[in-house]
Amino acid sequence: VIDMGQPEHSVVTTCAYCGVGCSFKAEMKGDQVVRMVPYKGGDANHGHSCVKGRFAFGYATHKDRIKQPMIRDAITDPWREVSWDEAIAFAAKRLKEVQGTYGRESIGGITSSRCTNEETYLVQKLVRAAFGNNNTDTCARVCHSPTGYGLKTTLGESAGTQTFDSVMESDVIVVIGANPTDAHPVFGSLMRKRLREGAELIVIDPRRIDLLKTPHLKDAQHLPLRPGTNVAIVNALAHVIVTEGLEDTDFIASRCDDKAYQAWREFILEERHAPEAVEAITGVPADKVRRAARTYAKAPNGAIYYGLGVTEHSQGSSMVMGIANLAMATGNIGREGVGVNPLRGQNNVQGSCDMGSFPHELPGYQHVADDAARARFEKSWGVKLDDEPGLRIPNMFDSAIAGTFKALYVQGEDIAQSDPNTQHVEAALKSLECLIVQDIFLNETAKFAHVLLPGSTFLEKNGTFTNAERRINRVRKVMPPVAGKEDWEVTQDLANALGYPMNYAHPSEIMDEIAGLTPSFTGVSYDKLEQLGSIQWPCNDQYPEGTPTMHVEDFPIGRGQFAITEYVATEERTTSRFPLLLTTGRILSQYNVGAQTRRTDNQVWHDEDVLEVHPSDAELRGIQDGDWLGVSSRSGQTVLRARISDRMLPGVVYTTFHHPGSGANVITTDSSDWATNCPEYKVTAVQVEKVSQP
């Protein structure tokens, strides 16, 4: 615990970690944070917090912080500390040279879900207006892009339907591919509270998550499916609901598109979707699937919560649509206690998607090919915009290796550690002629950079984050930026150096521009955020104070669209050479690639990634708890310490990726979701064997 005496004043701001978006009072002594106190007035957390938000803020003043811009001609050269002006001028000159030599499409920008809405908006504006192309993407590409695609296709909006508090009205809680007590701890605790009150729990996950150990839990159901078979099981659940007459026919008739429904019904009635028919695929006994389907469909209020165990698959988008199909078929949409609820990993995944950082969408999910939408942005920004979607992150890597993509601006994202198939990513980064990294630390990606621009932490800037329940929360500056600039100012300087004028005096002006161009944000302003505390979008003339529950009377696309979700087996198969399936996840005390939490006292709780191995697989290989294990896949190899655990099925191993070097992404492949290219982090065929200590 960091305690530096009595505070002199406090500032309310928002946690920089997960998608719960807890509000904290930063208690200050001068410019020093004395402690972070969970804020009782926080609409997402009501005074609760976890070990990350409360204790892991010390990274902001860690000695590793980059305080001075740095440049170098080649990545083999030493870094040279320079002024902000020199670094920005160097970056702009390089970008112009690259575009002059290789063309307008040869450069792009990536932003992070850890950045504020205003910063993200500016990065995509920089790319579109100053770079002149749509090569902008966000790290949401590698986590929840299938949520965006799947929910927009079926329900008409790329967002979850409920508030967190809505779970207190749920009778049945279905958790698919998520581990809320570790990854979203404050919401995980709220779920536990509701479960202790008597709600039923269904977990669909290869791993026995801690939620299943909730005290006084009523007859919890666990469907431990094989990694990569989500769509087979969601279709089987739907098959039971339809064949046993458990549908909500009134909801379907009044709210859903009949043609799409009839086509889906015909598809799902096929015997090949019966639980007995897919048992051999999923490994889950048919009677368990039948029971779970009945429990969910018969509940007065059934809510589904899901995480990256749904999205990070080659069929991530199909699975999201399959979940929406279940909710529509049972009428579990449009009131408290029900819904389809993606649990977003990072604090601003929802916001980074909302702000137009996808290569095919302007802010507010307006397609770049939509002439009317583009015209509004062209008028506001004073430029002609490209109507062709740009490159996604994996396409940028492939194009870099092919020699057509030559320069990249990365704000707040460590792509060399967090993206799959590290060897491929590093080869792409090495081939760039200009890599500009804006970050708070000299991260793994910075090893390949030519320009390093110091970033600012959440404590050093103003802005907003949007959490997993679409709640826009204020981020308030509590101390000056250690390198003298907030992140949005750096992007603005780069735009100006490239000849595209940006002249914002404060992030509130950026939000005013966002509100003017984004239909779901038209009623949002900093003044209203001060007045209401937080706002859940859509916030507009129809919903001036925001929208806690979505789709109450209708869907933004009129009627709900059932989608055909054909199960296709992943190409990542086990063989005699790679006989085990690796899947990945998170742990409570660490966050994402660990760049922040590893530089705080949280490090002592989890100082290395380990490989969980089932006792039967361990016995077969003579593995003891604590042994060093060589883990190899078709992509690469790493070494991890063994932890014998029966939380996984035999044949399945599990690890986290909080530490560089040893982490999972050295061995994950670059298979990805068919619709969005979200990587298939959750399924990698591997071999495991004992090795001597690395």
Residue numbers at the binding site for ligand SF4 (CB under 6 A): 15, 17-18, 20-22, 45, 49-50, 52-53, 184-186
- 206 or 412: CB nearest ligand SF4: 412
CB of 475 to ligand SF4, least distance (A): 12
* DSSP code of residue 418: H
Side chain identity at 424, as an amino acid letter?
H
CB of 15 to ligand SF4, least distance (A): 3
Helix (H) or strand (E) holding 628: strand 628-633
Q: Give burial (CB, 10 Å; 0-12/13-18/19+) of 480.
A: middle
Distance between CA atoms of residues 689 and 577, nearest Å: 12
- 58 or 556: CB nearest ligand SF4: 58
- 307 or 364: CB nearest ligand SF4: 307
- 49 or 325: CB nearest ligand SF4: 49
Check the CA dihedral 578-444-21-115 and report its sign: negative
Distance between CA atoms of residues 580 and 617, nearest Å: 9
* Residue 36 structure tokens: 């972070």
Helix (H) or strand (E) holding 318: helix 316-329
Helix (H) or strand (E) holding 580: strand 580-585
CB of 606 to ligand SF4, least distance (A): 14
| Residue with the CB atom nearest ligand SF4 in the bound state | 53
Asked if 35 and 27 count as a contact pair (C-beta separation under 8 A), the reply is yes
β-pair type (107-111, 610-613): unpaired
- 20 or 320: CB nearest ligand SF4: 20
CB of 21 to ligand SF4, least distance (A): 6
Asked if 444 and 414 count as a contact pair (C-beta separation under 8 A), the reply is yes
Listed in sequence order, the DSSP H helices in 543-610 are none
CB of 17 to ligand SF4, least distance (A): 3
Q: Helix, strand or coil for residue 668?
A: coil
- 21 or 663: CB nearest ligand SF4: 21
β-pair type (463-466, 471-475): antiparallel
- 23 or 124: CB nearest ligand SF4: 23
Distance between CA atoms of residues 341 and 26, nearest Å: 30
The β-bridge partners of 652 are 581
Residue where the block lists tokens 């669909």: 204
CB of 473 to ligand SF4, least distance (A): 10
- 21 or 307: CB nearest ligand SF4: 21
Return the beta strands (E) in 369-420 as ranges.
407-411
CB of 664 to ligand SF4, least distance (A): 21
* Residue 622 structure tokens: 């003579």
Q: Give burial (CB, 10 Å; 0-12/13-18/19+) of 61.
A: middle
- 19 or 228: CB nearest ligand SF4: 19
Evaluate the omega torsion of the peptide bond into residue 538 and state whether it is cis, within 30 degrees of 0.
yes
CB of 465 to ligand SF4, least distance (A): 9
- 22 or 642: CB nearest ligand SF4: 22
Interacting residues of 542 by C-beta distance below 8 A, sequence separation 6+: none
- 53 or 302: CB nearest ligand SF4: 53
CB of 583 to ligand SF4, least distance (A): 22
